[in-house]
């Protein structure tokens, strides 16, 4: 009877694998190299958006009267739902506008970026089979997850810095500008950590990102309903990390402790993700998927039928979201019309619409609907590219 003695290389690999985070630094450098263009695009886009608005807003609202009219619109329930809790409406300065109306949207954008990046480097890698090649080396069990979350931290630091520089370039106060940038980055880290959790629960990348995205939408809705109930936010506003960063009251009455809540939640979700990753096999999810049919229906034989089947959930989700936004737009349009009627100088600005203030108010929201449709189209085309890159499109072409 003979026994196989492990060689030095095998012992080193076993010892490294037993250390859960071994190899995370190398994976982080690789992830940053892969994401360098994506991170730069996100940072330049969000920083450029902030820079544009802080330059454009003074020309749109040049005096106190126009800013009071804008504040009256944002004080309405619809305005609070889309914007924020309404701090500083009594003296609606440029900084208060940015914190009240832009901070929430910037935080959501950073959260989406973080969800995409984490799922890309965790669940998507396992689904494609590349994670097996990585784990064949001296890589710890938690290393891919640790590297993905660290990659998201770096990405959010870059995005937050771009936002801060844009605000400082407009001459806004440095402490408040840093608070806004930190809030955007921290919300991104929270939902990046949440995506790390959903990547352990779901078996497929689309399910992991979809679950995290749905929770992000829920967080934004809870914040919106809470802010719409009461100026300054209600108890429901505190059920959302997006609401926490807006409660920092930047450019009005700055307080830092709400940002600490985001940091604590991000750390807690990170710890939870690391606990869950040890409880599942590579390629599997903790939540088992239900078995499919043994035979496909006739509608799935054609590429069109398969595409409809795969995209029906996304289409339904986008349709429900746009319908809800349309209802909100209708309620907000009524409040805008009332504000226009109270401010004759603004009503004159919309005289080009034949004096129809309702049409003027609704037309201001058309860009949001158009943007949503474009985003859905881009995501759908990207999914087709992914099917081709992973080799599944070839089988569909031969079947056709």
pLDDT tens digits for range 238-247: 989 999 999 9
DSSP calls for 175-217: HHHHHHHHHHHHHHHHHHHHHHHHHHH-SSHHHHHHHHHHHHH
Cβ of 268: how many Cβ atoms within 10 Å? 12
pLDDT at residue 12 is higher than 50: no
Using the Cα atoms of residue 196, residue 200, residue 205 and residue 210 in order, give the sign of their dihedral: negative
Of residues 336 and 73, more confidence is placed in 73
User: Is the pLDDT at 62 greater than 70, yes or no?
Assistant: yes
Higher pLDDT: 344 or 29? It is 29
Q: What is the mean pLDDT of residues 3-15?
A: 47
pLDDT of residue 8: 47
- Which pLDDT value is given to residue 268? 96
Tens-digit pLDDT profile for residues 183-213 = 999 999 999 999 999 988 888 888 888 888 8
Instruction: Inform me whether the pLDDT recorded for 353 exceeds 60.
Output: no
Contact 332, 340 (CB under 8 A): no
Spell out the long-range contacts of 204-212 with Cβ–Cβ below 8 A and sequence spacing 24 or more.
204/123, 204/127, 204/285, 204/289, 205/119, 205/120, 205/123, 205/124, 205/127, 207/285, 208/119, 208/122, 208/123, 209/115, 209/116, 209/119, 210/313, 212/115, 212/119
Query: Which tens digits make up the pLDDT trace of 31-59?
Result: 899 999 999 999 999 999 999 988 888 88
Q: What is the pLDDT of residue 321?
A: 76
Q: Does the structure show a pLDDT above 80 at 99?
A: yes
Q: What is the mean pLDDT of the chain?
A: 80
DSSP 298: G
387 or 11, higher pLDDT = 387
Query: Which H or E run includes 305?
Result: helix 303-342
Distances in whole angstroms, Cα of residue 347 to Cα of each of 62, 274, 357: 16, 56, 7
Q: Which two tokens stand for residue 59?
A: 């020309």
Better pLDDT: 381 or 98: 98
Which of 245-259, 280-294, 315-329 has the lowest average pLDDT? Answer: 280-294
Q: Look at residue 266 in the predicted model and tell me its pLDDT.
A: 95
**pLDDT average, residue stretch 173-177:** 92
Contact between 178 and 61 under an 8 Å Cβ cutoff? The reply is: no
Is the predicted pLDDT of residue 13 greater than 50, yes or no? no
pLDDT for 17 equals 47
86: left (phi over 0), alpha (psi -120 to 50) or beta: left
Mention every residue, 6+ apart, whose C-beta is less than 8 A from residue 331.
77, 78
What is residue 205's predicted lDDT score, i.e. its pLDDT?
A: 80
Tell me the pLDDT band of 395, cut-offs 50, 70 and 90. Answer: low
- Go through 57-81 and write b for each residue having 16 or more CB atoms within 10 A of its CB, e for each that does not: beeebeeeebbbbbbbbbbbbbbbb
Task: Supply the pLDDT for residue 354.
Answer: 56
CA distances from 225 to 111, 117, 121, 221, 236 (A): 20, 29, 34, 6, 7
Name the percent of the chain lying above pLDDT 70: 76
> Looking at residue 267, what is its pLDDT?
96
Q: Annotate 127-169 with DSSP letters as a single string.
A: HHTHHHHHHTSS--TTHHHHHHHHHHHHHHHHHHHHHHHHHHH
pLDDT over threshold 60, residue 397: no
Quick one: how far is CA 263 from the chain centroid? Answer: 16
> Tokens at residue 335, please?
């409040």
As a whole number, mean pLDDT of residues 120-134 equals: 78
Report yes or no: 345 and 241 within 8 Å, Cβ to Cβ.
no
Report the C-alpha gap between 280 and 205 in whole angstroms.
16
H helices of 76-129, where? 77-82, 94-97, 103-121, 123-128
pLDDT of 1 > 50? The answer is no
Q: Is residue 269 scored above 90 in pLDDT?
A: yes
Assign 70 a pLDDT band (cuts: 50, 70, 90).
confident
What confidence category does residue 110 fall into, taking pLDDT thresholds of 50, 70 and 90?
very high
32 Cβ neighbours under 8 A, 6+ residues apart: 39, 151, 154
Per domain, the residue ranges of the chain are: 17-287, 298-400
* Model pTM score: 0.80
Give the span between the Cα atoms of 271 and 231, in whole angstroms.
35
Cα 371–Cα 93–Cα 245 angle in degrees, nearest 5? 60
């Amino acid at each position: 009877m003979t026994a196989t003695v492990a060689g030095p290389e095998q012992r080193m690999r076993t010892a490294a694998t037993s250390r859960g985070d071994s190899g995370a630094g190398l994976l982080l450098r690789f992830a940053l190299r892969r994401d360098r263009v994506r991170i730069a695009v996100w940072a330049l886009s969000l920083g450029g958006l902030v820079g544009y608005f802080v330059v454009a807003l003074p020309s749109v609202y040049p005096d106190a009267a126009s800013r009071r009219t804008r504040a009256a619109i944002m004080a309405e329930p619809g305005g609070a739902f889309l914007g924020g809790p309404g701090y500083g409406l009594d003296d609606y300065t440029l900084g208060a506008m940015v914190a009240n109306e832009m901070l929430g949207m910037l935080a959501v954008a950073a959260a989406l970026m973080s969800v995409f990046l984490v799922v890309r480097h965790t669940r998507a890698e396992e689904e494609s089979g590349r994670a097996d090649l990585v784990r064949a080396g001296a890589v710890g069990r938690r290393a891919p997850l640790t590297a993905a979350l660290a990659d998201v931290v770096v990405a959010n630091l870059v995005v937050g810095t771009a936002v801060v520089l844009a605000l400082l370039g407009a001459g806004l106060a440095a402490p408040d500008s840093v608070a806004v940038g930190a809030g955007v980055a921290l919300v991104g880290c929270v939902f990046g950590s949440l995506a790390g959790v959903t990547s352990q629960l779901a078996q497929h990348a689309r399910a992991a990102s979809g679950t995290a995205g749905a929770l992000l939408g829920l967080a934004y809705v809870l914040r919106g309903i809470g802010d719409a109930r009461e100026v300054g936010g209600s108890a429901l506003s505190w059920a959302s990390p997006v609401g926490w960063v807006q409660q920092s009251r930047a450019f009005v009455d700055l307080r830092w402790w709400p940002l600490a809540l985001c940091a604590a939640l991000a750390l807690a979700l990170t710890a939870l993700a690391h606990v869950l990753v040890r409880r599942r096999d590579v390629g599997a999810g903790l939540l088992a998927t239900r078995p499919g049919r043994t035979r496909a229906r006739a509608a799935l034989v054609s590429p069109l039928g398969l595409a409809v089947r795969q995209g029906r959930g996304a289409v339904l989700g986008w349709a429900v979201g746009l319908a809800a936004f349309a209802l909100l737009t209708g309620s907000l349009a009524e409040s805008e019309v009332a504000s226009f009627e109270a401010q004759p100088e603004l009503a004159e600005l919309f005289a080009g619409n034949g004096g129809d203030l309702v049409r003027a108010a609704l037309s201001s929201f058309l860009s949001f609907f158009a943007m949503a449709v474009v985003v859905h189209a881009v995501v759908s085309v990207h999914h087709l590219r992914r099917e081709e890159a992973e080799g599944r499109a070839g089988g569909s072409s031969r079947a056709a």
